């Protein structure tokens, strides 16, 4: 699972000032602790799936500064294709959430799937935490993951939006998301490499010392494996380094680990 959180969101979303910045901060803070586990629950866990999801929601919610569309919703009045059959449904069931849930029928359907009273209380769809789950449920319902796996931005956008509105905006957010995830991968690889090749010297004491002693024993040096880097381990390491053509300093660094594991 990628450790995506509020900091990750802000690497993708545009920055704002004043009231817009305050609105964005509130939404990001609410979503931050649940972003990674919620996406993972819906199998949106690979680099491409996360990147495409973030590109779409960042565009749809205006850079994480709103979970409710700016228009009144009156344009949806009488839209029977959205289930708006009663007077006032257009405004009442306006677009809300990270992916702009719209129309009575959609509020009812998603509410039933999530066990939430969205039809009776449509305003709760604008709650950041709820809106994230609604977006993931919609993503799952529309089977968008395969298009992400193919890195097909156009197809993903059509599945989310029904058209290609804001395509270039979504493309830019996709690039930012990919870059942020690539940075995470680079950091993880670096940490893994450092963990696999710790610098050990006389006085070190942990399981890595035990591994070092075990490798030296495998090279023919008589050593007890006690996880303690004492004089005997230092001498054995010194002799090994000299025989391996390394600088004999009695310190286990990257080159020494490589030679021992060869």
Cα distance between residue 24 and residue 68, in whole Å: 12
Confidence of residue 194 (pLDDT cuts 50, 70, 90): low
Chain mean pLDDT for the chain:
93
And the tokens for 91?
Answer: 């405004």
The Cα–Cα gap between 66 and 19 comes to 11
Which pLDDT score is estimated for 96? 96
**What stretches of the chain show up as alpha helix (H) in DSSP?**
6-12, 18-41, 47-60, 89-92, 104-114, 128-141, 145-149, 153-161, 167-196, 207-218, 231-243, 254-261
Percent of the chain past pLDDT 70, that is, above it, reads: 97
pLDDT of the residue at 198: 86
Q: How confident is the model at residue 210 (pLDDT cuts 50, 70, 90)?
A: confident
Q: State how far the Cα of 48 lies from the Cα of 33, in Å rounded to an integer.
A: 21
DSSP structure class, residue 252: B
pLDDT at 202 over 70: yes
138 vs 192: CA distance, rounded Å: 36
pLDDT band at 208 (very low <50, low <70, confident <90, very high): confident
- Confidence at 190, pLDDT banded by 50, 70, 90: low
| pLDDT tens profile 70-128 | 999 999 999 999 999 999 999 999 999 999 999 999 999 999 999 999 999 999 999 99
- Is residue 189 very low, low, confident or very high in pLDDT (cuts 50, 70, 90)? low
Give the pLDDT score at 195.
67
* End-to-end Cα spacing for the chain: 32
What is the rounded CA–CA span in Å between residue 46 and residue 156? 15
Q: Mean pLDDT throughout 24-53?
A: 96
Structure tokens at 139: 């993503």
Domain ranges for the chain: 6-191, 207-261
Question: Which distant-in-sequence residues (6+ apart) come within 8 Å of 251 by Cβ?
Answer: 199, 200, 201, 237
The average pLDDT across 177-205 equals 80
* 6-191: CATH class: mainly alpha
Name the pLDDT band for 254 (thresholds 50, 70, 90): confident
Tell me if the pTM is above 0.75: no
Structure tokens at 198: 């710790």
CATH of domain 207-261: 1.10.101.10
pLDDT of residue 173: 97
């Amino acid at each position: 699972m990628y450790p995506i959180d509020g900091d990750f969101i802000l690497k993708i979303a545009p920055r704002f000032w004043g009231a817009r910045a305050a609105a964005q901060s509130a939404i990001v803070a609410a979503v931050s602790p649940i972003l990674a586990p919620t996406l993972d629950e819906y199998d949106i866990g690979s680099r491409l799936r996360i990147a495409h999801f973030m590109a779409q929601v960042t565009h749809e919610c205006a850079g994480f500064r709103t979970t409710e569309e700016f228009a009144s919703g009156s344009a949806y009045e009488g839209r029977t294709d959205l289930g708006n059959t009663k007077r006032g449904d257009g405004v009442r069931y306006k677009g809300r959430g990270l992916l702009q849930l719209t129309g009575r029928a959609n509020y009812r359907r998603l509410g039933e799937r999530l066990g939430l009273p969205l039809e009776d209380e449509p305003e709760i769809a604008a709650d950041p935490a709820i809106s994230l789950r609604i977006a993931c449920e919609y993503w799952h319902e529309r089977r968008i993951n395969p298009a992400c796996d193919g890195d097909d931005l156009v197809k993903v956008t059509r599945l989310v939006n029904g058209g290609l509105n804001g395509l270039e905006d979504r493309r830019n957010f996709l690039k930012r998301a990919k870059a942020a995830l690539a940075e995470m991968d680079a950091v993880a690889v670096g940490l893994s490499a450092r963990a696999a090749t710790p610098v050990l010297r006389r006085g070190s004491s942990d399981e890595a010392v035990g591994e070092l002693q075990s490798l030296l024993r495998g090279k023919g040096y008589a050593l007890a494996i006690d996880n303690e880097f004492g004089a005997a381990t230092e001498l054995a390491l010194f002799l090994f380094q000299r025989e391996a053509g390394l600088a004999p300093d009695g310190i286990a660094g990257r080159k020494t680990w490589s030679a021992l594991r060869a």
